[in-house]
Chain A
Amino acid sequence: MTPVLVPRKKAWRGSKTSRRNTGYPGVPQWVFALAAAGGLFVLLPLAAMVSRVNWGQFIPLITSESSLMALGLSLRTSATSTVLCIVFGVPLALVLSRASFPGQRLLRAFVLLPLVLPPVVGGIALLYTFGRRGLLGRSLELAGIQIAFSTTAVILAQTFVALPFLVVSLDGALRTAGTKYEAVAATLGARPTTVLRRVSIPLVLPGLASGAVLSFARCLGEFGATLTFAGSLQGVTRTLPLEIYLQRETDADAAVALSLVLVAVAVAVVGLSFRRSRALAPEAGSE
């Protein structure tokens, strides 16, 4: 009775062929034990947090003015940052996977750097770029543009940390898809922009979707770079993670309630994306 896990595999892969018939015995039992421990390690802290929620006060806590403003700001800035990630991330991924030029590998390494950089380091780097005495900030200040302590700073911080997530997923999808269809389209007389619009992008749409979702989730959780670079003011720069951090000082109940909201939003976003990418998968997953 192995099939307990097989239907799930099917759903994930979105393919009609099951592994049941291949004669492959499946995953060794000891792997299940370690996987269970790994799963517990993730789920247990979440369960522990849920157990600490003060349900009697839950609704008043999450609907207080400061909470709603923080949630609204988080959703707005994360959406804007995700759009920026798509606008700049898609071209970056295309250039990294399809073109070839000197310094390409170096460029890839640097674009992916924020993935492994502690966010607070990102915040300091942004400060020295867009800050008042920064590389670009000085000129911006003279032009009357102030970035520090503004919502723009929050969006910059989020885009900085989230961009590599989109580039990585899309780069992978583009490499997996290969260039066959694009080559055919080109021989049929399609111009590069038409090929990109009609062939390349539709082909990697699931990768793009999951990349965008990952970026959005990363934006939503951004804390360190925002704290270092943007400051913290209700309705302007205090996003939900910053609000949680502040509430923790005096009101643990509020911090836990808001954390749960953030978990719920994240779960909803990730859940939604899986359903969408599954719906998109058969179209592009042609082998």
Chain B
Amino acid sequence: MSIFRMRISALLAACVVAAGLAGCANVTTDKAPSASTGGTQAVARSVTVYAAASLKSPFTEIASEFEAANPGTKVTLNFAGSSTLVSQITQGAPADVFASADSRNMAELSAAGLIDGTPINFATNVLTIAVPSADPALISSFTELAKPGIRVVICAPQVPCGSATEKLEKATGTTLKPVSEESSVTDVLGKITSGEADAGLVYVTDVKTAGDKVKGIFFSESNQAANTYPIATVGSSKNKELANAFIGVVTGSEGKKVLGDAGFGTP
């Protein structure tokens, strides 16, 4: 019987170990956002920004400008799909600022009571036709994407770029027959840069990022499905002052210039 008891105690020990690990994990995540950068006595102030993947290059630039303008401040950036960021913040991720690629995901976080005040719309983005520059398909309008023999890749309707595509199909009375409906705009872009697809619908800003591998083709209806990007302070933030300062820079003239250079429009 003693062995039986020992086995129980072993199991308990294991539980204690597991609980201990969980405890440690909690501590580290709580500390992470306020961790100092240099490690000296002057504890740096830090702000953690969760932003939509499409904001990667302008926000990286804005963050370094912000750090330069506010010595001793550290901006931690986390880029992912807006819905992924929403679920991370809902699960308790330590974000101070949230910048979404669409109002729907911002609304979801607001509904969960995790947003401070009213979100500010700071940028817009429109879809464009993208073709591989090495072997561009002969397309000059949205309706021509439905031509037979053209392999078109779009976003699935569940993601923001896909719902914008759906809107454009309705507005132009076109029914696209895509060979693939990807779950992110970067996957659409990947299929075009590799030359697998003849054409695809991506954001104007993606074409800028992709460089000369991809050619963008403007079409006049694109404005009818513009995405608006809202930004807001996360309600559980412990650095609201710094968070608001960062939002101020993004929505201010400096931010507008950087975003404009990246291809974003103004709301």
Contact = CB atoms under 8 A, between A and B. Distances in A.
Q: Is the interface of A mostly helix, strand, loop or mixed?
A: helix
Contacts of A4: 4, 7
Interface string A125-144: 00100011100000000000
Contacts of B3: 1-2
Interface string A234-248: 100110001001111
B194 A233 contact: no
Contact of B81 (A33, A133, A249): A249
A101 interface: no
B10 A32 contact: yes
B92 to A, nearest CB: 15
Interface in B121-155: 151, 153
Nearest to A38: B14
B183 A245 contact: yes
A233 B179 contact: yes
B171 interface: no
Interface string B1-25: 1011011001101110110000000
Given A2-B3, A228-B190, A249-B81, A37 B14 contact: yes
Contact-residue bracket for chain B: 20 to 34
B159 interface: yes
Nearest to B104: A250
B18 A149 contact: no
A148 B83 CA distance: 28
Contact of B10 (A30, A238, A248, A252): A30
Nearest to A251: B158
A249 B179 contact: no
A232 to B, nearest CB: 5
Interface string B169-203: 00000000011111100010011001111000000
Give the 6 A-B CB pairs with smallest separation, nearest first. A231-B180, A36-B14, A149-B179, A33-B10, A37-B14, A249-B158
